[in-house]
Amino acid sequence: MLLYYEILLGLSVLFSVIYAFMWHKHFDDNITLIFFLVPIGNLAYVAIAKSKTLEEAILATKITYITGLFAVLFIMLTILGLCHIQIPKLLRGILVGITMLVYLPVLTIGRYDYFYKDVQIETRHGITQMVGKEYGICHTFVYAWVFILFFFCLAALVYSLIRKNNVSHKIIFMLFAPVVISMLLFFVVRKITTEIELLPAAYVTAQFFYILIAYRLGLYDIDDSGLDSLLLKGETGFASFDYNLRFLGCNDTAEEAIPTLKGLHVDRPVGELPALQDNVVRWIRAFREKEKTGKMPEEDLDPYGDADGDVHFHHKSADGSKTYHVEVNYLYDGRRRRGYQLFITDDTADVKYMEFQEKFNAVLRDKVDQKTARILQMNDHLLYSMAAMVESRDPFTGGHIRRTSEGVRLLIEEMKKDPSISLNKGFCEHVIKAAPMHDLGKIAVPDAVLLKPGRYEPEEYEIMKSHSAEGAKVVHNILKDTDDENFRKVAENVAHFHHERWDGKGYPDQLAGEQIPLEARIMAIADVYDALVSKRIYKNKMPPEKANAIILEGMGTQFDPGLQKYYEAARPALEAYYEAQLDADATQQEEEGTQQNADGAQKEADTDQK
């Protein structure tokens, strides 16, 4: 009796080894799992037969149920796959989950009575058998689930036999055999005889039929047979080399593309042939480098290839009339890598088209870039002009938008130098570009308030404060149709929130801390600094040292303290800029004064004449 189980174990292992040699990557994974499970199950039956204690027999029995349940599940999934019946991944997961739930009570054997209420062992004819089994409620679930899986197997096979034209009837009949045999042994015959367990024989029988099925699957593998036909037809050239770059062979198309290969002796090392150094040897070395580092060598990147640096090249024929596409990959013997393979196809027409397309696109890109740059320049000038017009209504803040824009730029430049923060290049450009628009809301402030030559009354100040929210609306209306959504958002934030304070006491929304957008926090420093060092109708300009003290004192209350180090780094350039502006303003005022004196003298002369 023990010999029976050992023979079946040996056969199951033998069939699994045979399958391993036949294995192909296109084989259904579920077939592979069957060949993995069956030897384990048969080994468990041998373990039961040889067990000395009840605990040993129970442990082996738990393993047999793994094989019994999951082998049937994998048989069903194999049938669905070979019959081209697609089921969702979610449903596959549910089936595996149910099978696992049905199996879990098996683990309670020997501890609880959910699966076996009682079981003993007995030695007969030199082997151990489990006798006196009294099944619990969960054992019924196993039988029910196995029956359901077998039912779906038969239903899928009958359906495919009647309705599926793309499935071989020979394959279907070979799939029928293990299902029918397993059902008979599981539900009928094993109830008749209790001397030996017949399921191991059913498993080995199923393996035998699946080996026959695997043998025939290669005939129906469209991918492999199509590739073989393509190569034999000669439209694709191929050349093979081992790991030592010894020539293994090629077809006529490869010889036409690379004439040096013609007449080359098999096993000839190509590394010593000068004519192949700049093509075959270089290609294979680039492939090695890509496999080793994940990147193609810079000098080997194909100008006509993909940007990701795939290992393929373009090769010109000797007379330059043809261009070949060459792809490098491993040479496989079954699943083993044995060397390198070159696949060569005539790519002349495609390359000529790409060269023409590239030239056309280059001209088109140049014209589009010119037009785009011109439009952007006009747009920027328009935005700056609008800001300047609004500023011209306020005779007390001349040059404010120009100076604050420069202050923002200097702060941004210092922030870009800090490696601890990552400022997007586009964000930096947007903030600088949006700075002149921060006071656009003053267009909505009445002249009586805006042009008042002195400090505001409380109610007038409230009206003046409305310019920030109004500015955001104006900016939104101006830029609502722009393609640059990021710039629109930055510009709105700069106009809306540049009077907010870090401590939450600003306006219009009393935002605090990092609730205030970064662009508005930057704008606030440049805006206040200009107000301090510039002359107003109600105050004189402030010395740079005093203005600096006020700015630093405001860090953490009015301003973002995280920006302090950038302000301090930008301060020398900021003061130099304002000093230059003062000199320029003084020169301009002197020229304007000279012109006014000249105009006055001319008027006096005209009066005397009259």
pLDDT-above-90 percentage for the chain = 25
How far is CA 240 from each of CA 312, 328, 456, rounded to the nearest angstrom?
15, 10, 89
Quote the CA–CA distance of 114 and 350 in Å, as a whole number: 70
Type of residue found at 49: A
Type of residue found at 283: W
Domains and CATH numbers, the chain: 2-220 (1.20.1070.10), 230-346 (3.30.450.20), 391-604 (1.10.3210.10)
Q: Which residue has the tokens 């048969």?
A: 42
Would you state the structure tokens that stand for residue 441, as one six-digit string? 């809301």
- Does the pLDDT value for residue 305 go beyond 50? no
Highest mean pLDDT among 32-46, 225-239, 457-471: 32-46
**Residues 473-489: what's their mean pLDDT?**
83
The residues that bridge with 238 in the sheet, in sequence order, are 343
- Does the pLDDT value for residue 223 go beyond 50? no
Quote the CA–CA distance of 177 and 171 in Å, as a whole number: 10
Of 212, 47, 240, 54, which is closest to residue 133 (Cα–Cα)? 54
User: How many of the other CB atoms lie within 10 Å of CB of 433?
Assistant: 22
**Residues 53-71: what's their mean pLDDT?**
91
CA angle 207, 213, 218 (to 5 degrees): 135
Q: Could you read off the pLDDT of 135-171 as tens digits, one per residue? A: 888 989 988 998 999 999 999 999 988 887 667 777 8
Quote the CA–CA distance of 206 and 11 in Å, as a whole number: 12
Q: Could you read off the pLDDT of 171-213 as tens digits, one per residue? A: 888 888 888 888 887 776 555 555 678 888 888 988 898 888 8
> What band does 74 get if pLDDT is binned at 50, 70 and 90?
very high
Would you state the structure tokens that stand for residue 177, as one six-digit string? 């055999």
- Does the pLDDT value for residue 307 go beyond 80? no
**Residues 357-364: what's their mean pLDDT?**
70
- Does the pLDDT value for residue 268 go beyond 50? yes
**Residues 351-355: what's their mean pLDDT?**
61
Q: Specify the pLDDT at position 548.
A: 92
- Does the pLDDT value for residue 607 go beyond 90? no
Quote the CA–CA distance of 551 and 565 in Å, as a whole number: 12
- Cβ atoms of 207 and 33 within 8 Å: the answer is no
Q: Could you read off the pLDDT of 6-34 as tens digits, one per residue? A: 999 999 999 999 988 888 766 778 888 99
HSE-CB for 586 with a 13 A CA cutoff = 6
In this predicted model, which residue has the larger pLDDT, 466 or 349? 466
Straight-line distance from the first to the last Cα atom of the chain, in angstroms, rounded to the nearest whole number: 145
Q: Specify the pLDDT at position 523.
A: 93
Q: Specify the pLDDT at position 369.
A: 67
Highest mean pLDDT among 244-253, 348-357, 398-407: 244-253
